[in-house]
Amino acid sequence: MKIGLYDVDSHNFPNLALMKISAYHKQHGDEVEMVLPLNRYDRIYASKVFGDEYTTVKNLCLQSDDVRLGGTGFAITVKDGKEVYTKTRDGDLPPEIEHIYPDYSLYPDLTKDTAYGFLTRGCPNNCGFCIVSKKEGLQSLKVADLSEFWRGQKYIKLLDANLLACRDRVELLQQLIDSGAKVDITQGLDARFITDEIAAMLVKIKTDCFHFAFDFMKNEKAIVKGLQTFKKVCTKHQSRLTVYMLTNYDTTIDEDLYRVKLIEKCGYTPDVRIYRKPTAPQILKDLQRWCNNRYIHGSCDFMDYVPRKRDGRTIKQIYFGG
């Protein structure tokens, strides 16, 4: 068979599903290539990670009678301003493809000495702005050992949504430690699952930085406890310890300012994220610019920050009548 693979998003990140599909078909003696516009294929797999509204299968112009769609991007639709997840026409990958060693040669530049994969799937938190729990389930479950997608590469990009929520976390963290590879935990860590034992294991993983998240005030106590526990054993500089904090979703501006201070007090660097940024209040955009720019942040308090030079007024004067 002649197989065409179509990476719909084609961003600066390899498509893991396509790498696995490629490996499977090559093992079965099929001819596999990234889709070329004028070529005809016995079957085309199109995979889309992000949920933009513009790329649909109709405007892809794929030359095959057998087009199979997959990926979260095809499964998300926006209904009444909310993202809704529905399974794609062709569903998830079958186990014999899901658990195959990926064909990294599909993206030679992006996968140079780097392995990509998931050790777990799912997340118990079901945050309203995130698709993971709806798509993968309300439990973080082990789905692979590291050896399934790593064979001695120097770098590992771990794509797990919530590794620490998995009951097999100790075993999986040990695999990462034993690999000796430099690990990029791309999706961050859930501080609420950090105990003395987990913190001691995390610091043994070779990595440049650690990211956590603090999105809801209701989780304040548990998150602060986890951050403090980790800080006791982690010697990395504050700039290498980041806590993402979502704004414009479930918190007020007072709570946002409070979180910035609290995260810093715990010895971490706050990283302000804005939900639906284009329509967010201007003060949040100012907060993000002030907080995430180390030079601005280090030079003044948020209340004294002058966000627009020509206007000349401080945050306090613009928003708080000061």
Site residues for ligand SF4 per CB under 6 A? 123, 125-127, 130, 132-133, 161-162, 190
Minimum CB distance to ligand SF4 smaller for 125 or for 248: 125
- Is residue 13 within 8 A of residue 36, CB to CB? The reply is no
- Is residue 22 within 8 A of residue 103, CB to CB? The reply is yes
Show Cβ contacts of residue 129 under 8 Å, excluding neighbours closer than 6 positions.
Answer: 246, 249, 275
Minimum CB distance to ligand SF4 smaller for 133 or for 179: 133
Cβ at position 300, least distance to ligand SF4 in Å: 31
- Is residue 183 within 8 A of residue 208, CB to CB? The reply is no
Minimum CB distance to ligand SF4 smaller for 153 or for 162: 162
Cβ at position 299, least distance to ligand SF4 in Å: 32
* CA neighbor of 88 nearest in space, from 77, 103, 102, 101: 77
Show Cβ contacts of residue 165 under 8 Å, excluding neighbours closer than 6 positions.
Answer: 120, 123, 124, 125, 139, 140, 190, 193
Cβ at position 122, least distance to ligand SF4 in Å: 9
| 141 strand-pairing partners | 121
Cβ at position 194, least distance to ligand SF4 in Å: 14
Minimum CB distance to ligand SF4 smaller for 187 or for 292: 187
Cβ at position 140, least distance to ligand SF4 in Å: 8
Minimum CB distance to ligand SF4 smaller for 32 or for 49: 49
The HSE-up count of residue 322 (CA atoms within 13 Å, CB side) is 13
Cβ at position 85, least distance to ligand SF4 in Å: 12
Q: How far apart are the first and last CA of the chain?
A: 71
Minimum CB distance to ligand SF4 smaller for 123 or for 241: 123
- Any idea how long the chain is? 322
CA angle at residue 109 from 70 to 9, to 5 degrees?
30
Cβ at position 256, least distance to ligand SF4 in Å: 17
Minimum CB distance to ligand SF4 smaller for 22 or for 248: 248
- Is residue 303 within 8 A of residue 316, CB to CB? The reply is yes
